[in-house]
Each structure stands twice: as C-alpha cells, then as structure tokens.
Structure 1
Amino acid sequence: MMGFLQHLGFWDWLGLGIILLILEVFGAGGYLLWIGIAAAFTGVIAFLIPGLDWIWQFLMFGVLSILTALYWWNRQRSARRPSDTPGLNRRGSELLGRQFALHEAIVGGRGKIRVGDSVWLVGGPDLPAGTQVRVIGQDGVLLLVEPL
C-alpha cells in the first residue's frame, strides 16, 4: 500500500475523478460531482508539478474538496431567493379574494362554483345555488368560501 502511495501519479487522480463523476451520474445528488472535480484538479496539478509527494497530493485533494463543496453550498444558498411568482404550482391561489356565484348549492359543507370553463369544489356554510360567495382560503383542491 505504501508503495502505491509513494508512486501516486496524475493518472490515478484523473481515474478517481472519472470514477466519482460516473458515480454522480447514477444519482448522488451533486455530492460526488465536486469531489470528482477536486480529484481531477489534483491530477492536473500533479501533472504540472511532477514528483509532488503523496502527502501533499492528499492534502491538496482534501482542501480542493472542501473548497469546491463550499462553493457549491454558497451557490445553492444564493439561488434560494423569493419567487416572483409565489402562486406557481399552487392552482387556485389566484382565486383568493374573488367573488363567484355558487354553481351548485353548498349542502353538508360542500358545493361547487364555476370559474371560467372549470368547476371548483368549495366548502363553507350551507347556501343555495346562485348565492354570491367570496373565496377566503384553500385547503388542497377545496376552496373555502363565505357568503357576501
């Protein structure tokens, strides 16, 4: 083992980097990507500085792994900014505060309203069909309404 470490070359680092990048393709979630890049960088530096001791190579690999992971963490953290479309993928949230006539009476806490060409299930107090209601909330696909 010690003989292998003492003769560690740039091909070994490039091979490790390629193996880690291949494993990343199978779904590691980005973790092996940056370690694989650090291994490839270590291989490039070992090529540029022949005769670099294996201890320095491992130290360089560790530092590069930490730096690339911190880079990715910072980049992911800065990407989490508030959305300019907060209702995206929350179908029905655009109906909050709007008024509609009941399409079907609310009986037992359930009824329906017509919005454009679709019909929505609503929940609220029992009311006859045709009553004007306002959407005050949403519980999954159920719109919560109150009479005007």
Structure 2
Amino acid sequence: MIHYLQHLSFWDWLALATVLLILEVFGAGGYLLWIGLAAACVGVLTYLFPELPWVWQFFLFGLLAILTAVVWWRRQRSMLRPSDQPGLNRRGSELLGRRFALHEPIVGGRGKIKAGDSLWLVSGPDLPVGSQVKVVAQDGVILRVEQDA
C-alpha cells in the first residue's frame, strides 16, 4: 500500500475527482462537489509538479477540500436575505388574528371553521355552530381559537 501511495500520479487524483463528481450528480447535495474539485486541483498540481511527495498531496487535498467548502458556505450564507413573503410555506399563518363563524361545533375541544374555500380544524372551548371565534395561534394544521366577544 505504501508503495502505491509513494507513486501517485495526477491520473489517480483526476480519477478520484471524476468518481466524486459522478457521485455528486446522483444526489449528494453539494457535499462531494467541493471534495471532487479539491481532488482535481491536486491532480493539476501533481501534473505540474510530478515530484510532489504523497504526504504533501494528501495535505493539499485536505486543505483544499476544507478551504473550498468553507468559501462556498460563506458565500451561500452571505447571499441569504429575508424573504419578502414571510408567510410562504406557513399555510394558515395568515389567519392569525382573524374572526370566523364556526362551521362545525367545537365538541371535546375540536371543531371546524371555514376560511375562504377551506375547512380548518380548530381547538378551543366547546361552542355551538355559528359562534364567532378569533384565531389566536397555530399548532401545525390545527388553529387555536377563543370565543370572540
């Protein structure tokens, strides 16, 4: 094994880079992309400097893998910005604070309201059909309501 490590060529690094980038295509989520690019860079460096010791090759590979991942991570973090639609993917949050008539009575703490063309499960005190309620909170797909005064 040590004999193989001492005679690594740029083809070995380029083959590793190719395998990593192919695996990335199959859905690694970006993790193998940067390691593959680091392997490709070490392959180029090994081509330019064929007498580069294998220890330095592995050191450069590790350093470049970490460096490329950190640079990309910092770039991605800097591009994050607050959404202009904070309620996106939070269905039901637009109903908080609004008032509705009960579509089905609240019995045993559960009932339904009609908001637009949708029926929503609600939890709150037992109330008859038609009672006015105010949405005060949201627990997943269940809206918490209280009787509106």
TM-score, normalised relative to structure 2: 0.82
Distance 1:28 1:118 in 2: 38
Partner of 1:111: 111
> What is aligned with 1:124?
124
> What's the secondary structure of 2:52's corresponding residue?
coil
User: Is it true that 1:7 corresponds to 2:12 in the alignment?
Assistant: no
Residue correspondence of structure 1 range 64-103 to structure 2 within 5 A: 64-78=64-78, 81-103=81-103
Which runs of no fewer than 5 residues in structure 1 stay unpaired? Answer: none
C-alpha separation in 2, matches of 1:105 and 1:7: 79
Residue identity in the other structure for 1:142: I
* Counterpart secondary structure, 2:102: strand
Query: Deviations along 1:36-78, whole A, 9 cap, x unmatched?
Result: 1101011112223343333332232222122112223323544
Q: Deviations over 1:94-137 (max 9, x none)?
A: 10000111122222222221111121121211222222211001
| Secondary structure, counterpart of 2:13 in structure 1 | helix
How many Å apart are 1:6 and its aligned residue?
A: 3.6
Identity of aligned residues (%): 71
TM-score, normalization: structure 1? 0.82
